[in-house]
Amino acid sequence: MTSLLKGFLGKAAERWAVQLGLPGVLFVALCWTARVLGHGDALDARRLVTASADAAAPATASNVRVAVLLAAVVAFVALVSTVVALTVREAGPLVQKVWLGEGRWGLGRARRDPATGAYAPTSGIGARFSRLHAGIGSYYQLDLAVAWPRLWLVLPDAARTELTAASAAFRQSAEIQVWGLACLPVACWWWPAVVPAVVLIAVGWARGRAAAAEFAVLVEAVVDVHGAALAAGLGFPCPDGRLTDLIGAQVSDHLARRGGLRRPVRQAVPPPGAGS
């Protein structure tokens, strides 16, 4: 039991260090650097080292006081970095919404559907998911937004694992861009902070596009391979073992009418079940 508890605590500490601690500590260090150097001495590394040493261990302090101050500094930095990292994680879905172009907001152009009044993105990451929904709807006559929760339930573990990894990569890419956006205000006090801000924003966007493309391809694949299992599970067996547009239309109508449900607007987002 003791070894199991130690292993659990060790994994939890490692996860905190990688996902929350290290990024948060780096951001706190960036803020401290901006506070100490400012624009006038932006590249004065000696001043930064001296000020940091004096703040952590004043020259007039005793050994006991130095130890206490160091412990307090470490605890404070750990607390602040964790809070900042958790805030960034919570802000990640907002960036995803901007990427996906939900409503009037988002990157790229949007086209209003006269039938539903909804805005569908025509460029950027959101357009890739819009094409995904439109393609599946055109080929299989299947409303992916309605069918996806049921399809997720019939997927094998291997398919779920791949989708979960792709969805997690998409979420992490958004968090990278949030870190970049968080660095921008720091540049008001220390201009070199523009460099990590621009790099993180660009990297997050590039990785987000790649993750979105991979996720869309996987969704298309699971519909191709497991669409018949979805239809059969809902009482619409496929005679030749593959989903057809006729059966897909029957499945969509069945799901839309069940319980008087209304078909939702076809807005492509990584499904909640596919994130970790």
Among the ranges 15-29, 100-114, 178-192, which has the highest mean pLDDT value? 178-192
Query: What average pLDDT does range 122-143 have in this prediction?
Result: 84
- Residue bearing the bigger pLDDT, 35 or 61: 35
- Residue bearing the bigger pLDDT, 27 or 200: 200
User: What b/e sequence results for 63-74 when a residue is b if at least 16 CB atoms lie within 10 Å of its CB, and e otherwise?
Assistant: eeeeeeeeeeee
Query: What span, in angstroms and rounded, lies between the C-alpha atoms of 17 and 9?
Result: 12
- Residue bearing the bigger pLDDT, 103 or 127: 127
- Whether the per-residue pLDDT at 19 is higher than 50: the answer is yes
Residue carrying the six token digits 């966007």: 205
User: What b/e sequence results for 1-18 when a residue is b if at least 16 CB atoms lie within 10 Å of its CB, and e otherwise?
Assistant: eeeeeeeeeeeeeeebee
Residue 175 structural domain: 2-274
Q: What is the 3-state secondary structure (H, E, C) of 95-113?
A: HHHHHHCCCCCCCCCEEEC
Helix (H, G, I), strand (E, B) or coil at 10: helix
Question: In Å, how far are 121, 179, 229, 231, 258 from 235, measured between CA atoms?
Answer: 34, 47, 10, 6, 13
- Whether the per-residue pLDDT at 140 is higher than 70: the answer is yes
Question: For 65-119, what is each residue's pLDDT tens digit?
Answer: 666 666 776 777 777 777 888 888 888 888 988 888 764 444 444 454 444 444 4
**pLDDT bracket for residue 63 (50, 70, 90):** low
Cα dihedral sign for 242, 246, 249, 251? negative
The total number of structural domains that make up the chain: 1
pLDDT at site 228: 92
Query: What average pLDDT does range 115-136 have in this prediction?
Result: 70
- Of the candidates 158, 131, 162, the residue with the CA atom closest to the CA atom of residue 144: 131
pLDDT at site 153: 92
- Whether the per-residue pLDDT at 265 is higher than 70: the answer is no
- Residue bearing the bigger pLDDT, 53 or 31: 31
Residue carrying the six token digits 């659990």: 8
pLDDT at site 106: 46
Question: For 189-244, what is each residue's pLDDT tens digit?
Answer: 889 999 999 999 999 999 999 999 999 999 999 999 999 999 999 899 888 888 98
pLDDT at site 178: 93
Question: For 152-175, what is each residue's pLDDT tens digit?
Answer: 999 999 999 999 999 999 999 999
pLDDT at site 65: 66
Q: What pTM does this model have?
A: 0.74
Q: What is the 3-state secondary structure (H, E, C) of 24-49?
A: HHHHHHHHHHHHHHCCCCCCCHHHHH
Query: What span, in angstroms and rounded, lies between the C-alpha atoms of 162 and 276?
Result: 12
pLDDT at site 80: 78
**pLDDT bracket for residue 274 (50, 70, 90):** very low
pLDDT at site 241: 85
